[in-house]
Homo-oligomer: A and B are copies of this chain.
Amino acid sequence: MKFNENVAKEYLDIQTFICDEIEKVDKSSVFSREVWQSELGEGRTCTFSGSIIEKAAVNFSKVKGELTTGAAKALGVSPDSFFATGISIVMHPKNPWSPIIHMNVRYFELGNGGYWFGGGIDLTPHYIIDEYASKFHKALFDLCENYKVGFYEKTKNEADDYFFLTHRGETRGIGGIFFDRIGPDNEQEKLELFEFTKKLAKAFPGIYAEQLEALSGKEYSDKNLEWQNLRRGRYVEFNLVFDRGTKFGLETGGRTESILVSMPPVATWVYQHNVDKDSLEYETLSKLKKGVNWL
């Protein structure tokens, strides 16, 4: 089997694993697992709506085609044929004390022989709770350092820069790790990187379960729900204005429903919304900065 087909096959298996594991965390529902085919390729979009996780999607896709001028420009490469496969996840919890989570691993090849892996995981708490922010980053630190010393620091900083809403001067949440365009020439390093993306994806359900098990039973008020919907509005802004996967997908004529399944179930906008200086909402906003050491 060609390397790229093998990556796709293994990612598909991991998608199954992730869905199975998440069904053990929120037993109120099961994933709807929908296989699709399009002009560009194929995929499986698994969606979930339960009592703990309000709206979740675990996407797998394997597509190929010709880059449009816009997509090639966005990637900084010459127009060429491409192959891309990956898993992409967004989960919006019902309880405002629980965080939104996103994870993505992807492999990309150009017709000219160029290739790279990319990926990331980041957490967007509606309310930042230091203890659980720390647990999240600790899990990533262990994963990264196990792969390569210094990889956490490098990709944590990249996440701070990437998951940032320039027009709001806010990070999306507490970040996580982000890496893109890593394409080692050395065959061994390439395989190790592939292994790392698999480990990251397989670690996802446990990492999110730790957050949900601690926080999804916490009581909440209407005010907490209002805040959640405002923060979901920011999530929409990030995904439509900045998210590279979303932009690349829409630009290359990807399957819109699978791309925009990352949108929250509902989002609100209030002109010049203000929060009290001694509120938890204010505290969360004050922590949406780059360069915070969450460990």
Main DSSP-derived SS at the A contact region: mixed
CB of A263 within 8 Å of the partner chain: yes
For A269, give its contact among B237, B253, B260 (CB under 8 Å).
B260
Residues of B close to A168: CB separation below 8 A: 256
Query: Which residue of chain B has its CB nearest to the CB of A166?
Result: B250
Binary flags per residue of A238-257, CB closer than 8 Å to B gives 1, else 0: 00110000000010010011
Number of chain copies forming the complex: 2
Residues of B close to A157: CB separation below 8 A: none
Interface contact A236-B240, CB-CB below 8 Å: yes
CB of A233 within 8 Å of the partner chain: yes
Residues of B close to A264: CB separation below 8 A: 269
Residue tally, chain A, CB below 8 Å to B? 30
Binary flags per residue of A256-293, CB closer than 8 Å to B gives 1, else 0: 11011101111111111000000000000000000000
For A260, give its contact among B55, B237, B257 (CB under 8 Å).
B237
Query: Which residue of chain B has its CB nearest to the CB of A262?
Result: B269
Residues of B close to A256: CB separation below 8 A: 167-168
- With most chain B CB atoms within 10 A of its CB, the pick from A45, A263, A268, A269 is A269
Report the bound CA distance from A260 to B241 in whole Å: 12
For A272, give its contact among B229, B250, B257 (CB under 8 Å).
B257
Query: Which residue of chain B has its CB nearest to the CB of A169?
Result: B256
CB of A57 within 8 Å of the partner chain: yes
CB of A95 within 8 Å of the partner chain: no
Report the bound CA distance from A233 to B253 in whole Å: 20
Interface contact B240-A167, CB-CB below 8 Å: no
CB of A15 within 8 Å of the partner chain: no
CB of A47 within 8 Å of the partner chain: yes
Query: Which residue of chain B has its CB nearest to the CB of A48?
Result: B271
Report the bound CA distance from A168 to B272 in whole Å: 30
State the A residues within 8 Å of B (CB).
45, 47, 55, 57, 166-168, 229, 233, 236-237, 240-241, 250, 253, 256-257, 259-261, 263-272
Known: A240-B241, A264-B269, A267-B268. 7 other contacts (CB 8 A): A45-B271, A167-B253, A167-B256, A233-B263, A236-B236, A240-B240, A260-B269
Leading 3 A-B pairs by shortest Cβ distance: A240-B240, A263-B269, A167-B250
